[in-house]
Amino acid sequence: MHELISGRWSARGYDPTASISVDDVATIVDAGRWAPTWGRMQPVRFVVGRRDDPTFAALTGILTRGNAGWAPRSAALILVCTTEDPDDAKADTYAAVDCGLAVGQMILQAQALGFNAHPMAGFDAEAARDAFGIPAGQRPLVLLGIGALAEPSSLPDDIRARDEKPRTRLPLDEVAFAGQWGTPAFPELPTT
Ligand SMILES: Cc1cc2nc3c(=O)[nH]c(=O)nc-3n(C[C@H](O)[C@H](O)[C@H](O)COP(=O)(O)O)c2cc1C
């Protein structure tokens, strides 16, 4: 696996003094802009805050409790929005897929630039609509924190403890099938 993918993880222990340049944030957003898009619809929009600017301050204000403790340590916060259309389930579904693809590319671009990126659903979407004048037909779907990892010894205990938790995934033979659903695609490989 490419090291950008194997080395990716959702950290919380960011250095609250580390900054990120405008160029780097723009590159990360651009990586999202160039994600695949269903029917070339390009439904995804971004609200971008760098620490100490007013947009960043407003984005920290919409964090829900679980994220309010660590996410303000990010060097940048990017709210990723996509279209919603209650009358068109297909467009609605693939707008969300476009959003996920954009976020995935942004995470890897952040990683390539030496940062960690952590996606969040834990924010108040209605507060975001109010704060940024997000129009009807757009929905705020993911808030992406981008930060530089701090020295673990400098972190508050709760943040360090969460970052030290082991990361796990379902084994490959439980998620990848061939022939019939449930039949492992790679029976010859170890199951971990
Ligand atoms: C759509 C989505 C929403 C998430 N929301 C949050 C969140 O609100 N707060 C948080 O700390 N992590 C959030 N995460 C991160 C997951 O908790 C994390 O990806 C998962 O624990 C796996 O860890 P890993 O990314 O290090 O592999 C979210 C991830 C996704 C994909």
59 lies in some domain: yes
Quickly list H helices, 75-169. Answer: 89-112, 125-132, 157-164
Average pLDDT of 98-109? 98
The closest of 94, 72, 81 to 129, measured between CA atoms, is: 81
CA of residue 11 to ligand 1 center, whole Å: 9
In a domain, 160, yes or no: no
Domain-embedded: residue 161: no
pLDDT value of position 159: 98
CATH label of the domain that carries residue 47: 3.40.109.10
pLDDT at 189: 87
Strands 116-120 and 76-83: unpaired
Q: How far is the CA of 121 from the centre of ligand 1 (A)?
A: 8
The answer to whether residue 45 scores a pLDDT higher than 90 is yes
Is any atom of ligand 1 closer than 6 Å to the C-beta of 104? no
With a cut of 90, say whether residue 122 has pLDDT above it: yes
User: How distant is the alpha carbon of residue 23 from its chain centre?
Assistant: 19
**Residues spanned by the domain of 33:** 3-151
Angle (CA) 28-139-116 rounded to 5° is 30
- Closest ligand 1 atom to Cα of 12: 11
User: At residue 18, does pLDDT exceed 90?
Assistant: yes
Which pLDDT score is estimated for 190?
Answer: 76
Round to whole Å and give the CA distance between 119 and 19.
Answer: 19
> Hey, is 167 helix, strand or coil?
coil
Give 146's pLDDT tier (boundaries 50, 70, 90): very high
Kindly state the helix (H) or strand (E) to which residue 139 belongs, with its residue range.
Answer: strand 138-147
Mean per-residue pLDDT, 50-75: 97
Query: In this structure, is residue 29 part of a structural domain?
Result: yes
Please identify, by atom number, the ligand 1 atom nearest to the C-alpha of residue 141. 1
Identify whether 74 is part of a domain.
yes
- Closest C-alpha to ligand 1, atom 30: 119
Tell whether ligand 1 has an atom less than 6 A from the beta carbon of residue 167: yes
Is the confidence at residue 191, as pLDDT, over 80? no
Residue 10 falls inside a structural domain: yes
Is residue 16 within 8 A of residue 73, CB to CB? The reply is: yes
Q: What is the pLDDT of residue 102?
A: 99
Distance from C-alpha of 19 to C-alpha of 15, rounded to nearest angstrom: 9
Burial of 166 (0-12, 13-18, 19+ CB in 10 A): exposed
Tell me what pLDDT residue 114 has. 98
Average of per-residue pLDDT values in the chain:
97
Band the pLDDT of 53: cuts 50, 70, 90. very high
> Does residue 168 fall inside a structural domain?
no
pLDDT(57) > 80: yes
Span from the CA of 10 to the centroid of ligand 1 (angstroms): 6
Residue 108 lies in a domain: yes
Distances, alpha carbon 97 to alpha carbons 24, 81, 161, 165, in Å: 25, 12, 32, 29
Cβ of 122 closer than 6 Å to ligand 1, yes or no, is yes
pLDDT exceeds cutoff 90 at 19: yes
Whether 174 has a pLDDT exceeding 90, the answer reads: yes
Q: For the chain, what is the domain count?
A: 1
